[in-house]
Amino acid sequence: NAGVTQTPKFQVLKTGQSMTLQCAQDMNHEYMSWYRQDPGMGLRLIHYSVGAGITDQGEVPNGYNVSRSTTEDFPLRLLSAAPSQTSVYFCASSYSGGAATEAFFGQGTRLTVV
């Protein structure tokens, strides 16, 4: 039972480069989300999706794009990487985005932008 799988685990980018962080879940969850984790800041929501074809912005969406063409996949795109995007990124999924629903997290992608 794989759960939520994120790739890659580590990535170093140069300023201005673009890349896609992959996220896949095999639990048939409708709700998926991307967070970034920075020291002393907790987890902040970047983008989320309530189902295939539906996405919306979270707290810190600037510089990131998402799409949701299938229930299983929810990639996060960095359009033009900046040092401020150095962070650990987590993808999460849940049965719904509603109250009391447990979120399942991937292992994270540690991104460094130089």
Partner 1 sequence: AQSVTQLGSHVSVSEGALVLLRCNYSSSVPPYLFWYVQYPNQGLQLLLKYTSAATLVKGINGFEAEFKKSETSFHLTKPSAHMSDAAEYFCAVSAIQGGSEKLVFGKGMKLTVNP
Are 62 and 78 within 8 A, CB to CB? no
For residue 45, state whether it binds partner 1 (rule: CB under 8 A): yes
Decide: 92 and 4 in contact? Cβ < 8 Å: yes
Q: Token pair of 59, please?
A: 């707290």
Interface map 52-91 toward partner 1 (x if CB under 8 A): ----xxx-------------------------------x-
Distance between CA atoms of residues 64 and 44, nearest Å: 13
Which range of residues in 18-26, 61-69, 70-78, 98-106 is near partner 1 by CB under 8 A? 98-106
107 binds partner 1 (CB under 8 A): yes
Please name the amino acid found at residue 72.
Answer: E
5 C-beta neighbours (distance < 10 Å), count? 14
Out of 48, 67, 74, 114, point to the residue binding partner 1 (CB under 8 A). 48
Instruction: Note the residues at the interface with partner 1 (CB under 8 A).
Output: 4, 33, 35, 40-45, 48, 50, 56-58, 90, 92, 97-103, 105-108
